[in-house]
């Protein structure tokens, strides 16, 4: 029988301690629903005794039914001066009315004496009676042994005594925490085995969990090793968010458990949702996606070298450890000066372009690509620009408008106020001329607004488009402020479609203009293609 692993997500508590990671109440509820849909077993909603937002979250969640996941409230053992029945923290945990409660206690003797400033035996007492008080009042009760691995190395006997008292108090699962995140995998394995042997010798049954932080870049490896050794619950966060260097990344752990270790977890049966789930959490937190993240990063299955692409085309296993479809991701073929014919042909197939490897135009396309990259263009993050380049080479690119002139003016009218920027544009569409102006927050924003203002009278769908990201890179510092720059723009529309374009020039406005024009042309081209598909369907 396949062993089943519980997945305990703490994104809404530990994850929100990450720098620049913030969620509103509504965002937390959306994340909770998404994690439930994905198949997470336990969702830690926060510490109800810590702030009003956490209290309100648990109140709101009492009226929201989850299909699979069980909500957990998090808190500490009682204050030493308060008996359990009069402790405000324990009362807040029970008031949250969750199916699960997780409390943490001190495992490291230095924390007991220096942080809590109580005796070692007093700490054992508050661990046991806090759990004993909660046990009959909640369905699932977990104990997080804080700083367990550091505590074990410092004082093995005392550290094990804290676990014995937690077990005596009624904890369902003892979660061993690498709170400082500095334990290496071989150390963790030795300590877990020592814990298991200790309780076996005492004839006590034990359910262990693991809660790893990533300060030594070992959180995922430590979690998987713990499971290999018999741990039944893994705690972590989506995308590895957490304080300092983050927590164990469930986005990597779940597919490893299901696809590589052959273990069952409910979320593992829904891996096709993984990519979408991780992106939704990033979007709600207003944080960029880590393109290099295993399994779900945009570069996780991206191939650039011509030899790699040729091999992947014949058999994806040659350079991919899993099928990207299994985690909801997709294979990407990158275009660069390393590209060979295989890269270009695969791109053409994806774009629906009639191009064979023996096509006479192939050599000229590759030559133009290498020349453009020699000038500073890069297409890995600007595939929309590359598709337009290919369509131009094949004579398939439609000209949606013609630029006559543009001008951008910055005016600093007071040293105590921000400058204002105005852009004017003159262009024509089908012989009809448009001449418009727009104010913006900086020259690129003004140019973007003026361009779309001029074109929306001809192409109303452009109102649906927005500039999502804008990056400038100086290509060489040799010429100081006269150096060439590359501008990358990411655009998106309400359908959720996003695309990247690129421009290069010694003039940052000109480089921005190139990327903006490509972005708008790509949007108009896709709209035209979608209308054509809709007409064919009818």
Domain shared by 254 and 317, yes or no? no
Residue 387 in domain? no
Domain shared by 165 and 63, yes or no? yes
Q: Domain boundary at 284, 310, 336, which?
A: 284
User: Model confidence over 250-290: pLDDT tens digits?
Assistant: 999 999 999 999 999 999 999 999 999 998 898 888 787 89
Domain shared by 61 and 152, yes or no? yes
What is the CATH number for 529? 3.30.160.270
Residue 489 in domain? yes
What is the CATH number for 197? 3.20.20.70
The C-alpha atoms of residue 61 and residue 57 are separated, in whole angstroms, by 6
Domain shared by 318 and 220, yes or no? no
Q: Which domain holds residue 518?
A: 402-537
Residue 101 in domain? yes
Burial 261-281 (b: 16+ CB within 10 A, else e): bebebbbbebbebbbebbbbb
Residue 380 in domain? no
Residue 296 in domain? no
Domain shared by 154 and 123, yes or no? yes
Domain shared by 407 and 359, yes or no? no
The confidence score (pLDDT) of residue 368 equals 80
- C-alpha closest to that of 409 among 434, 436, 439, 435: 439
The C-alpha atoms of residue 206 and residue 211 are separated, in whole angstroms, by 16
The confidence score (pLDDT) of residue 519 equals 94
Domain shared by 268 and 308, yes or no? no
Which residue ranges in the chain fall short of pLDDT 50?
A: 337, 478-479
Query: Could you tell me which residues come within 8 angstroms of residue 537 by beta carbon, excluding any fewer than 6 positions away?
Result: none
Query: Could you tell me which residues come within 8 angstroms of residue 236 by beta carbon, excluding any fewer than 6 positions away?
Result: 7, 8, 9, 10, 211, 212, 219, 223, 247, 248, 249, 250, 253
The confidence score (pLDDT) of residue 359 equals 80
User: Model confidence over 141-173: pLDDT tens digits?
Assistant: 999 999 999 999 999 999 999 999 999 999 999
The confidence score (pLDDT) of residue 67 equals 94
Residue 166 in domain? yes
The confidence score (pLDDT) of residue 315 equals 81
Strand partners, 116: none
Residue 25 in domain? yes
Cα–Cα–Cα angle for 89, 90, 96, rounded to 5 degrees: 90
Domain shared by 207 and 133, yes or no? yes
Q: How many domains does the chain have?
A: 3
Domain shared by 323 and 243, yes or no? no
The confidence score (pLDDT) of residue 334 equals 66
The confidence score (pLDDT) of residue 535 equals 65
Domain shared by 331 and 478, yes or no? no
Domain shared by 263 and 333, yes or no? no
Residue 471 in domain? yes
Domain shared by 339 and 456, yes or no? no
- C-alpha closest to that of 238 among 186, 287, 309, 202: 287
- C-alpha closest to that of 401 among 444, 435, 352, 353: 435
The C-alpha atoms of residue 65 and residue 356 are separated, in whole angstroms, by 54
- C-alpha closest to that of 35 among 69, 73, 59, 82: 69
């Amino acid at each position: 029988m396949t062993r089943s692993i519980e997945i305990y997500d703490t994104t809404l508590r530990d994850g929100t301690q990450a720098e620049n990671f913030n969620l509103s109440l509504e965002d937390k509820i959306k994340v909770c629903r998404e994690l439930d849909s994905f198949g997470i077993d336990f969702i830690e909603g926060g510490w109800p005794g810590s702030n009003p937002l956490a209290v309100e979250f648990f109140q709101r969640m009492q009226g929201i039914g989850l299909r699979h996941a069980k909500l957990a409230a998090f808190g500490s053992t009682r204050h030493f001066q308060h008996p359990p029945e009069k402790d405000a923290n324990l009362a807040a945990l029970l008031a949250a009315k969750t199916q699960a409660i997780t409390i943490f206690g001190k495992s490291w003797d230095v924390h007991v004496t220096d942080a809590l400033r109580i005796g070692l035996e007093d700490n054992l007492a508050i661990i046991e009676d806090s759990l004993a008080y909660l046990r009959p009042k909640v369905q699932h009760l977990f104990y997080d042994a804080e700083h367990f691995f550091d505590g074990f190395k410092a004082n093995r006997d005392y550290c094990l005594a804290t676990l014995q008292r937690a077990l005596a108090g009624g904890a369902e699962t003892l979660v061993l925490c690498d709170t400082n995140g500095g334990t290496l995998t071989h150390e963790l394995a030795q300590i877990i085995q020592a814990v298991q042997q200790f309780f076996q010798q005492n004839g006590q049954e034990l359910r262990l969990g693991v809660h790893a932080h990533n300060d030594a870049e070992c959180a995922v490896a430590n979690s998987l090793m713990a499971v290999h050794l018999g741990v039944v619950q893994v705690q972590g966060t989506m995308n590895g968010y957490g304080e300092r260097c983050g927590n164990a990344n469930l986005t990597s752990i779940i597919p490893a458990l299901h696809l590589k270790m052959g273990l069952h977890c409910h979320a593992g049966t829904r891996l096709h949702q993984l990519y979408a789930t991780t992106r939704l959490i990033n979007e709600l937190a207003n944080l960029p996606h880590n393109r290099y993240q295993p399994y779900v990063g945009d570069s996780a299955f991206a191939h650039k070298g011509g030899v790699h692409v040729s091999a992947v085309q014949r058999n994806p296993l040659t350079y991919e450890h899993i099928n990207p479809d299994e985690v909801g991701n997709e294979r990407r073929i990158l275009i660069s000066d390393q590209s060979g014919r295989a890269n270009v042909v695969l791109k053409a197939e994806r774009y629906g372009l009639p191009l064979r490897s023996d096509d006479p135009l192939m050599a000229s396309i590759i030559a133009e690509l290498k020349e453009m990259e020699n000038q500073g263009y890069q297409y890995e993050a600007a595939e929309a620009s590359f598709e337009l380049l290919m369509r131009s080479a094949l004579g398939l690119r439609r000209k949606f408008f013609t630029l006559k002139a543009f001008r951008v003016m910055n005016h600093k009218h007071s040293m105590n106020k921000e400058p204002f920027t105005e852009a004017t544009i003159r262009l024509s569409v089908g012989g009809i001329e448009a001449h418009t102006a727009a104010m913006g927050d900086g020259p690129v924003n003004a140019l973007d607004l003026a361009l779309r203002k001029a074109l929306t009278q001809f192409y109303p769908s452009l109102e649906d488009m927005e500039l999502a990201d804008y990056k400038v890179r100086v290509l060489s510092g040799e010429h100081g402020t006269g150096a060439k720059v590359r501008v990358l723009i990411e655009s998106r529309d309400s359908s959720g479609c996003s695309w990247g374009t690129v421009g290069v020039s010694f003039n940052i406005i000109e480089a921005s203009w190139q990327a903006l024009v490509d972005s708008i042309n790509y949007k108009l081209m896709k709209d035209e293609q979608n209308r054509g598909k809709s007409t064919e369907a009818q």
